[in-house]
């Protein structure tokens, strides 16, 4: 049986994951200054979350849970994104208390631009990792995602 990892090792893994995530977000924002300038990291995360849903929409409550945002902060961010034309906000037909956030064409274009930036700048860095190590990295990140999902949700 394997020994559990030490706290310092877990801290280092969390720090590296956080640093990679922040670097990718900031780089994408830097490369697409014209569209992303003026957006906060929280707003970019909200846009990314809604953009990547299969249905093209998400429940407001899901955002607060997903990102650990207060309802107030999430509401301010969403209101600004609606005013800027990235999101459409409607009430659920089943329960008027539920708010549905839907992507707009403007968000679709932005999201496609971010995917282009990822493909052009992030994929080459990932492809430089030797095959077996890259596969192990993917497997480890997928496992971590499942464990976090089990733990947090």
Q: Tens of pLDDT along 21-68?
A: 777 777 766 666 555 657 777 888 888 889 888 888 888 888 888 887
For residue 25, how many C-alpha atoms fall within 13 Å in the half-sphere facing its CB?
17
Which tens digit of pLDDT belongs to each residue from 105-116?
999 988 888 888
Which run of H or of E encompasses 46?
helix 41-51
pTM of the predicted model over 0.85: no
CA 68 vs. chain centroid, Å, equals 13
Average pLDDT over residues 114-142: 89
With beta carbons less than 8 A apart as the criterion, state whether 63 and 102 touch: no
CA 88 vs. chain centroid, Å, equals 19
Least confident of 73-77, 113-117, 140-144: 113-117
| 7-152 under CATH 3.30.160.20, yes or no | no
pLDDT at residue 135, as a whole number:
93
Edge-to-edge order in the sheet of strand 87-91: 57-59, 99-103, 87-91
Higher pLDDT, 3 or 88: 88
- CA gap 91, 26 in Å, rounded: 32
pLDDT beyond 90 at 132: yes
β-partners of residue 101 are 58, 89
């Amino acid at each position: 049986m394997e020994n559990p990892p030490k706290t310092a090792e877990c801290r280092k893994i969390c720090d590296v994951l956080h640093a990679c995530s922040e670097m990718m977000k900031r780089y994408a924002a830097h490369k697409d200054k014209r569209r992303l300038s003026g957006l906060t990291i929280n707003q970019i995360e909200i846009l990314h979350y809604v953009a990547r849903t299969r249905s093209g929409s998400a429940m407001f409550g899901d955002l607060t849970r997903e990102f650990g945002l207060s309802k107030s902060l999430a509401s301010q961010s969403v209101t600004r994104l609606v005013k800027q034309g990235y999101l459409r906000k409607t009430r659920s037909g089943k329960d008027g208390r539920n708010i549905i956030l839907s992507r707009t064409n403007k968000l679709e274009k932005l999201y496609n631009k971010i995917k282009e930036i990822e493909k052009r700048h992030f994929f080459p860095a990932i492809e430089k990792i030797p095959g077996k190590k890259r596969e192990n990295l993917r497997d480890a990140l997928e496992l971590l995602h499942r464990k976090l999902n089990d733990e947090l949700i």
